[in-house]
Amino acid sequence: MGKLTTLAGLIMVRMPERLLKLVYRERETYRGQTIDVKALALGQLANTVRVPGHLPSVAESRAQAEKIAGMFDCKGPKLARVEDFQVVGADGPLAARLYSDTTDKQSLQPALVYFHGGGFIQGNLESHNEVCTKLAKWSGGIVVAVDYRLAPEYHFPKGVDDAKAAFLWLSENAGDLGIDPHRLGVGGDSAGGCFAAVVSADLAGQAVAPKFQVLIYPVTDGHINSASINELEHAYILPKERTVWYLDLYRGDFDDFDDPRFSPLFTEDFSSLPKTYVLTAGFDPLCDDGSAYVERLSSAGVPVTHRHFPGQVHAFVNLTAVIPQGTKALQEIAEWLRETWNPKTSEHDML
């Protein structure tokens, strides 16, 4: 019966949107938002695979994440240059991958240093290969993905220390990679968004600091007690029990949830942070994390673009084969990157 239910779910997620709307005549609403029909089909499939009240082992969770990435994300476009190399992390070398649609290293290109999501315990260069490929192609710049150390083998702050060290190394070695260090920023999704925000805060005001940040449904508050997290306790893709499990594995014995390196929402000075793009999703328990971070940036006078997808679920930019809005989201981020890297010449500058 279980296999038949899963098969039925797989068929449903591949159905055209217009047919799914006939199947799901009534859909969940939250805060006046209605869940996207494709996200609903995928969420219900996820629920058929999971055993209620059972948390997987770390190995099982990692295997599931890799399988989902392979099944439900569209392949990215071809690029002229994709290179695997090593950067220097906090305690040694880390694997990294550079994406660019030009092989010309002489004309320095703007770049985004990307930290993958995965609840701090899973994800790698392969799980986010398509996301990085698309951002590089559509933005016209370079994306560098960093394979930081994961929990629970490496508890906080090992992973975020790697992210910071990798960014500094890339800044120092930018020219050799064809990167313009003056147009270098950070980004990431979920746990990776948390890391990007911490790197920006740690280096704010210094000579070498991210010039912008892209945060895709980021984790910003380690208390895991926002209204959206509690109200969406049984959310598709990321129910609260999973979020708490991820954070517990990440933190180890660390319990200062107000520490801004664990919870970037508690950064003391937001005014020194760079121009920011934040994406949130209406049926993602982390939506209040992102929105609260946007409010802090706005109050501090930092330029911030907040793009909210009201009907979407967590991780939808990695699920583009079944959720078309994931592609739209990445295209919009790429457009923002292009505008950030190449601001239009003002009328005054042309005179």
Would you please indicate which residues are annotated as catalytic (active-site) residues?
190, 284, 314
Return the ∠ at Cα 346 (arms to 341 and 351), rounded to 5°. 135
Residue type, 120: F
Cβ-contact 302, 330 below 8 angstroms: no
Cβ-contact 40, 27 below 8 angstroms: yes
What is the β-pairing status of strands 93-100 and 109-115? unpaired
**Strand, helix or coil for residue 184:** strand
Which string of b and e fits 101-139 if b means at least 16 CB within 10 Å? beeeeeebbbbbbbbbbbbbbbbbeebbbbbbbbbbbbb
Tokens of 5: 């239910």
| Separation between Cα atoms, residue 231 and residue 250, nearest integer Å | 23
Give the dihedral sign, CA 162/165/171/173.
negative
User: Within a 10 A sphere around the Cβ of 279, how many other Cβ atoms?
Assistant: 27
User: Within a 10 A sphere around the Cβ of 47, how many other Cβ atoms?
Assistant: 15
Question: Cα–Cα distances in Å, from 136 out to 63, 163, 213, 318, 338?
Answer: 27, 19, 15, 15, 10
Question: Cα–Cα distances in Å, from 318 out to 128, 206, 252, 327?
Answer: 7, 33, 28, 9
**Three-class HEC string of 313-345:** CCCHHHCCCCCCHHHHHHHHHHHHHHHHHCCCC
**Rounded to the nearest 5°, which phi and psi values hold at 129?**
-60, -40
Question: Cα–Cα distances in Å, from 250 out to 109, 122, 159, 169, 288?
Answer: 34, 11, 9, 24, 21
